[in-house]
Amino acid sequence: MPNGMTLNPLTLVKLALWIATVAVVTVLLRRRKATSDVRLAFLVGGVLIFGFGFGLLLPTGLNPNPVASLRTLLTSLLVRGQLALPIAAMLIILLVAVWVSNKSICGWACQLGLLQDLLHRVGLPKWEPPFWLSNSVRVLAFVGLLVGLLAVGIDWIAFIDPFQVFSFQITWALGPFTAALLVASLFVYRPWCRFL
């Protein structure tokens, strides 16, 4: 988000739709009505609406996602020395929704999580990485993000952020990384979420 300080009205619409999706899914799950067909409809619909729909409607870089919200907040605090209140509020709402709904936003509304889940359904051999490996990579990536922001003011994850593909913002670094991520999704459950 430019300067990390403002929100486009469509961003708020997407946030509201995320919350509505989480509410509907929570009810479906509690009533045991989340069938395989319902799940597939959410996967495809979520990728199309939350991913490509909002990716095309929102100006470049404004299609929100949980990872970008955290990175924008850290950048505003560590690089600019100011708190981006709209982004902080949005992140808090997302975290509360994740906590209340047992991560429903990750598996039922997050465009990248949905795309990874959809690809993982392909009938190929699967690999379950050990927790020590995925957690070590995640910690190193987070420390690398903090060091990059504090030392030189660079958010290195922005160069490989696969959420950008929904806005068709493909760069020399993003293209190969996202292609590898999507291929990995065929074999590993949500590799982006698991490792970064």
Q: What is the pLDDT of residue 185?
A: 97
* Other Cβ atoms closer than 10 A to 60: 11
Q: pTM for the whole thing?
A: 0.85
Sorting pLDDT into bands at 50, 70 and 90, what band is 189?
Answer: very high
Q: What is the pLDDT of residue 125?
A: 97
Sorting pLDDT into bands at 50, 70 and 90, what band is 61?
Answer: low
Range 131-154 average pLDDT: 91
For the cut 60, the answer to whether the pLDDT of residue 127 exceeds it is yes
- Token pair of 181, please? 């991520």
* Higher per-residue pLDDT: 79 or 41: 41
Sorting pLDDT into bands at 50, 70 and 90, what band is 122?
Answer: very high
Range 122-134 average pLDDT: 96
61 φ, ψ (degrees, to nearest 5): 85, 0
Cα 171 to Cα 12: distance, rounded to the nearest angstrom: 27
Q: Judge contact between 52 and 166, C-beta under 8 A.
A: yes
